[in-house]
């Protein structure tokens, strides 16, 4: 159904008004036509009613069409406006359009077709302009909203950066505290261990059985405490990237022998066989012997700690591509596959309860993992719950010391541990 248009005709000449009315009626325009004689009445009508179009005679009794249009456009009233010009008025048509008229039509050309056509196109153009203005307004608003959001985001980003900075500071402080404390604890610990060892020597006088037993306990606990302190110190140094490898050429089978020898009494105390096999054509390697021994002692003490009966094997063998494999296998409690990806995380233990059966800091494997990476090697784990675990370390026969500076932080992903540094892909393999 065609829309009924509300049209206001502003003209003091009755004949003109009739001509407009009859042309629109003949053209079949559905309309509600209002007519006023001058500008003042036109303003009153426009203030009370929302018209779809104004047909304005250029010459009014109280003013000319140009000043009427200017007044109308500076008011709040929005309406399309067609100026009907008389003989000789055409030259001001441009001024009328510039002032805000939507269109103009010479009265001499009024016919049902021309008038209805001009009227409809004026309404269409005007509505399109209004929609465009609305869209521009909405765009402007969303643009302003975007700017505000951007500013908020920038502020949040700055806050996050600030928090990151504070976290970094706190972490550095923690590492510094750990390093200083463990370093300071080492001196008195060494004195306790040293003097209790001296007291146990016969030349310092005869001790009763009970006294000797008590000093042995001081000595053993002191050694255990020193090991824990050393683990914390190593960990804080590794975290701060301040642990250096001191590489030299040495006989790896001798170092393995030494580590096995040191751990034998612990294995004997639990009635575990500790077996060693070296299968190397060339036993010389270029690495840090102290750290290699530390890795072995750590793996062996875990193997002894988590094994109740059976054997522990240590094997050193030749690997392709000028690499050497160090393998520690036990018949202990084993590790469930779901825990494989956590096993090398710092402070992580399968049993996280305070009342856990097996003591430890949860730092040993994290330290081993970092050291192996620094050496440009890989560590693998094969394990089956209730059957036992095997830790396999593959190392280049000759390490490159610059790798140490290149060791990135761990990124855990499923059953494998990936890190972005070259030559440093550590896989955890399940034997199940």
CA-angle at 109, arms to 107 and 110, nearest 5°: 70
- The number of C-alpha atoms within 13 Å of 87 and in the hemisphere containing its C-beta is 0
- Residues 359-398, interacting with ligand ADP (CB under 6 A): 360-366, 389
* Position among 35, 234, 330, 382 found at the interface with ligand ADP (CB under 6 A): 330
Residue 183 φ/ψ, nearest 5 degrees: -65, -45
Query: How many whole angstroms separate alpha carbon 82 and alpha carbon 97?
Result: 9
- If the CB atoms of residues 58 and 306 are measured against ligand ADP, the closer one turns out to be 306
Tokens at 60, concatenated: 């009014």
Task: Mention every residue, 6+ apart, whose C-beta is less than 8 A from residue 34.
Answer: 6, 7, 8, 9, 45, 49, 51
d(CA 35, CA 54): 10
The answer to whether 337 contacts ligand ADP (rule: CB under 6 A) is: no
Interface region with ligand ADP, contact rule CB under 6 A, candidates 104-112, 148-156, 270-278, 301-309? 301-309
Stretch that binds ligand ADP, among 149-157, 176-184, 204-212, 326-334 (CB under 6 A): 326-334
Stretch that binds ligand ADP, among 71-79, 247-255, 302-310, 416-424 (CB under 6 A): 302-310
Structure tokens that stand for 181 in this block: 């404390």
Contacts of 208 (CB under 8 A, 6+ apart): none
227 is a contact residue toward ligand ADP (CB under 6 A): no
Write down the least CB distance from residue 279 to ligand ADP, Å. 22
Q: Which is nearer to ligand ADP, 16 or 369 (CB)?
A: 369
Residue 287 engages ligand ADP in binding (rule: CB under 6 A) = no
280 makes contact with ligand ADP (CB under 6 A): no
Please tell me the count of residues contacting ligand ADP according to CB under 6 A. 19
Our finding on whether 288 is near ligand ADP (CB under 6 A) is no
In the bound state, the residue with its beta carbon closest to ligand ADP is 360
Q: Which of 333, 374, 379, 395 is close enough to bind ligand ADP by CB under 6 A?
A: 333
Residue 35 vs 330, nearer CB to ligand ADP: 330
How far apart are CB 356 and ligand ADP at their closest, in Å?
Answer: 8
> Any contact of residue 343 with ligand ADP (CB under 6 A)?
yes
One character per residue 306-325, x = contact with ligand ADP (rule: CB under 6 A): x-------------------
Question: How far is residue 32's CA from residue 325's CA, in Å, rounded to a whole number?
Answer: 99
Binding site for ligand ADP (CB under 6 A): 302-303, 306, 330, 332-333, 335, 343, 348-350, 360-366, 389
């Amino acid at each position: 159904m065609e829309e009924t248009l509300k049209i206001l005709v502003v003209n003091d000449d009755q004949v003109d008004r009739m001509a407009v009315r009859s042309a629109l009626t003949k053209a079949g325009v559905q309309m509600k036509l209002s007519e006023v004689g001058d500008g003042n009445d036109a303003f009153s009508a426009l203030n009370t009613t929302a018209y779809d179009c104004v047909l304005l005679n250029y010459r009014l009794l109280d003013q000319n069409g140009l000043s009427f249009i200017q007044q109308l456009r500076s008011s709040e009233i929005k309406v399309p406006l067609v100026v009907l010009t008389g003989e000789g008025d055409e030259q001001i048509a441009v001024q009328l359009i510039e002032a805000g008229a939507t269109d103009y039509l010479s009265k001499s050309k009024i016919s049902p077709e021309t008038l209805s056509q001009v009227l409809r196109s004026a309404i269409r153009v005007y509505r399109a302009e209004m929609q465009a203005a609305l869209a521009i307004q909405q765009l402007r608003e969303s643009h302003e909203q975007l700017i505000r959001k951007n500013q908020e985001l920038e502020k949040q980003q700055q806050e996050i950066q600030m928090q990151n900075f504070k976290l970094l500071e706190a972490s550095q402080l923690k590492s510094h505290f750990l390093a200083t404390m463990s370093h300071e604890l080492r001196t008195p610990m060494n004195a306790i261990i040293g003097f209790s060892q001296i007291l146990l020597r016969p030349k310092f006088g005869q001790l009763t059985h009970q006294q000797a037993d008590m000093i042995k306990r001081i000595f053993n606990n002191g050694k255990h405490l020193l090991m824990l302190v050393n683990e914390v110190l190593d960990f804080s140094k590794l975290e701060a990237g301040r642990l250096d490898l001191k590489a030299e050429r040495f006989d790896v089978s001798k170092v393995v022998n030494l580590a096995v020898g040191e751990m034998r009494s612990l294995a004997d105390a639990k009635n575990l066989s500790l077996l060693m096999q070296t299968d190397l054509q060339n036993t010389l390697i270029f690495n840090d012997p102290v750290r290699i021994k530390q890795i072995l002692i750590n793996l062996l003490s875990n193997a002894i700690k988590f094994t109740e009966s059976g054997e522990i094997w240590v094997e050193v063998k030749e690997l392709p591509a000028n690499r050497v494999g160090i393998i520690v296998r036990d018949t202990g409690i084993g590790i469930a596959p779901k825990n494989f990806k956590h096993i090398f995380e710092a402070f992580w233990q399968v049993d996280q309860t305070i009342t856990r059966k097996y003591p430890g800091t949860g730092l040993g494997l994290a330290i081993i993992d970092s050291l192996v990476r620094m050496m440009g090697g890989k560590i693998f784990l094969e394990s089956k719950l209730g059957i036992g675990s095997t830790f396999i370390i593959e190392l280049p026969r000759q390490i490159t010391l610059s790798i140490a500076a290149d060791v990135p932080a761990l990124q855990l992903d499923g059953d494998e541990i990936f890190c972005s540094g070259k030559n440093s892909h550590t896989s955890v393999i399940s034997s199940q």
